[in-house]
Amino acid sequence: MLPITKGVKLVYSYIDVLTVGAGVGGLRVIDMGIQLFFFLLLLFLVKKFAWGPVMNMMQKREEYVANEIEAAEKSRIDAEKASKEAHERLKQMKQEAQKIIEDAKEAGQKQEQEIIRAARDEANRLKESAQADIQNEKEKALQALQDKVASLSVLIATKVIEKEIDEKDQEKLIHEYIKEVGEEL
């Protein structure tokens, strides 16, 4: 047996001798004193050998928890900041997209106006060209008519000269000539 356990047994046997008179329900003062002694001894040993490391471990744990809370708070702040930045970027992108759409609409309207203006210019040019062609054709027709009238006049004049006709016949001849000219036109 170990010497410590022998000593504890010896102390208990001595205490038993001292407390023999206390009886079954009696208060054993010596037991309480021994228990108090061992409790104080245990407190001393815990304080001497275990209290420092336990407190050191608790301090480290407290620092770890504080650091984790601080890191979590920093992460939360960073996440909020990133969320705000993303929201701002999204808002800016929406504004840019709206501006692009508006610019495209404006460019489309300008292009539409340019196409309409070009079409009007082309229509006016074609109209003027057609009017010029009509005028040329009209002038050609009038010239041809004048040439025809002149040749017919010459023909009538030669016929009138060839045959002397009276005034009645001359009028009849002119009416026939006008009728012929009207049919040719």
Integer Cα distance of 73 and 84 in angstroms = 16
pLDDT at 53 > cutoff 60: yes
Burial class (CB in 10 A: 0-12, 13-18, 19+), 173: middle
Average pLDDT over the chain, rounded to an integer: 82
pLDDT by residue (tens digit) across 141-164?
888 888 887 777 777 777 666 666
| Residue 179 binned pLDDT confidence (cut-offs 50, 70, 90) | confident
What percent of the chain is predicted at pLDDT more than 90? 45
Integer Cα distance of 175 and 185 in angstroms = 15
Q: Worst-scoring range by mean pLDDT, 33-42, 55-64, 159-168?
A: 159-168
Domain with 11, as residue range(s), is: 3-184
pLDDT by residue (tens digit) across 122-132?
999 999 999 99
Domain count, the chain: 1
Integer Cα distance of 80 and 100 in angstroms = 30
Q: Which range, 26-35, 46-55, 112-121, has the best average confidence (pLDDT)?
A: 112-121
pLDDT by residue (tens digit) across 5-35?
666 666 666 666 555 544 445 567 888 888 9
Integer Cα distance of 55 and 181 in angstroms = 135
